[in-house]
Amino acid sequence: DGYFHHMMRQCRYSSKDLQGIELITSYVFNKVEHVRFNSTVGKYVGYTEHGVNNAEAWNSDAGILAQERGELERVCKHHAPIAYSA
């Protein structure tokens, strides 16, 4: 009973080139993905009515976009040597 909210960040490493790293941040509510940030696209994309509204608001805020893009550097590129050694 109740509601389930989940935010998940994934770093996708397609090559050893640091430019090939992709960050995906997904926001899920009750098992439905509502909005996603994809570093390749460079913005949020909404998949539900609520997600589209959030994506529009977040994409219009340069600070939020800069913070999300910073996660690519801070998390994904920082951990790339570990991912490449596996």
Calpha distance 76→11 (Å, rounded): 5
Overall residue count recorded for the chain in this entry:
86
Helix (H, G, I), strand (E, B) or coil at 41: coil
Helix (H, G, I), strand (E, B) or coil at 68: helix
**Ranges under pLDDT 70 in the chain:** 1, 86
pLDDT at 1: 67
| Alpha helices (runs of H) in the chain, residue ranges in sequence order | 49-59, 62-71, 78-85
pLDDT at 50: 94
pLDDT at 20: 81
For the chain, first and last CA: distance in Å? Answer: 40
The C-alpha angle with vertex 76 and arms to 48 and 85, in degrees rounded to 5, equals 130
The structure's pTM equals: 0.84
pLDDT at 9: 94
- In order of their start, the domains of the chain are 5-85 (3.10.320.10)
